[in-house]
Amino acid sequence: MSKYIHKSHNVSVLLYHFICPAKYRKVIFDHEVEETLKVICLEIAKRYEISFLEIGIDKDHVHFLIQSVPKYSITQIIRIIKSITTKKIFVKHPQVKEQLWGWGVLV
């Protein structure tokens, strides 16, 4: 559950529910990609002041329940999450990139 975040000059409870569909709603999230995504999100949480309260994964989209500090706008949070997770999933699972783009992965 969410907690109050106490900083030197403020106390905040900012919760965001973000839904991220795969490109063209293609079915790309299998068990391996799901585990990789969760590990990447834990790395993001350590680096940035973003807490992932829940991550729900379906076959063609992901639900994030995120808590953050007022330091980041929602646009910045989404940009951080989408860019980092996409890059790392494409590196670890090149078949996902091939599935989405329809052509082989360039090395």
Q: Which has more confidence, 67 or 23? A: 67
Domain spans, the chain: 5-101
Contact 60/18 with Cβ under 8 angstroms?
no
Closest CA to 62 of 23, 99, 88: 23
Summarised one tens digit per residue, pLDDT across range 65-88 is 999 888 889 999 999 999 999 999
Architecture of domain 5-101: 2-Layer Sandwich (3.30)
Phi then psi for residue 65, to 5 deg, are -110, 115
* Euclidean distance between CA atoms 107 and 70, whole angstroms: 39
